[in-house]
Amino acid sequence: MAMDRADVIARYDEQLDTAAYADVDASANGLQVGSETGTVERVAFAVDAAEATIEAAVDAGADLLVTHHGLVWGGLDRVTGREYDRIAPLVENDVGLYVSHLPLDGHQSLGNAAGVADRLELEGREPFGELGPVHVGQRGRASRTYTVEELRETLDGFDNGGRPTQVLDFGPDEISEIAVLTGSGADWLSEAEAVGADALVTGEGKQQVYHEAREAGVNVFLAGHYATETFGVRSLAALASEWGLETTYLDFPTGL
């Protein structure tokens, strides 16, 4: 089945409430490369828009590549070097690039945090991770109490190229209240402390989060930027399948 490319883009923009994040996200969300005209039969999905995933999308015969991390962050001055090497195959093969960064982090059912929360079987979920007028994460109560090691083992089951989850175990030994903000979410540790979370699950940390977690008495689990951000694009792939489109998922774990 084929759909108008403009229709696919409009559906994703509506589902993800893309416009609500325009003033807070450095990413140019929505269609970043390509024309809105034409049709789409096959869509490829990946976490990152990089040479490897773009080439794989072309090889798969995709009409559209949907990624979480795109190519345009706060402007694009020149299309040369690495930027040219990434954009040229998209243009030459008429593959559109659709990007959803923070909208896909914060969506409460389709998003990355929601996907992690699903795997952790969190209940009574609420938005977490304030960023201006929007949220970019989710929190909830585990349906069963985790020990630190049990939660680490569960997160190690995420696809992160074999890299184990790092744990800053400065919080309670028994974990029920969990805040999730995928990717680089350590900056929201203070909010996790304020809402009474036993643990913050994110992808990667910064140097200062060690001391902040220790002083706050909150466990921090660093499960990998890539590993925590595969859920959103997989949800968008499921939507495309429901619309009758062919889909393919391009898995390029970074181990980071």
Residue 211 assigned ligand-binding role? no
Backbone angles phi and psi of 78, in degrees to 5:
-140, 145
d(CA 108, CA 71): 25
Counting every residue written for the chain, the total comes to 256
d(CA 96, CA 93): 9
Residue 173 assigned ligand-binding role? no
Residue 107 assigned ligand-binding role? no
Spatial neighbors of 218 by CB under 8 A, at least 6 apart, are 170, 171, 189, 192, 193, 197, 198, 199, 200
Residue 68 assigned ligand-binding role? yes
Spatial neighbors of 225 by CB under 8 A, at least 6 apart, are 182, 183, 184, 203, 204, 254, 256
DSSP β-ladder status, 30-33 and 174-180: unpaired
Residue 191 assigned ligand-binding role? no
Backbone angles phi and psi of 175, in degrees to 5:
-115, 120
Q: Give the annotated binding-site residues for a divalent metal cation.
A: 68-69, 105, 225, 229
Q: Give the annotated binding-site residues.
A: 68-69, 105, 225, 229
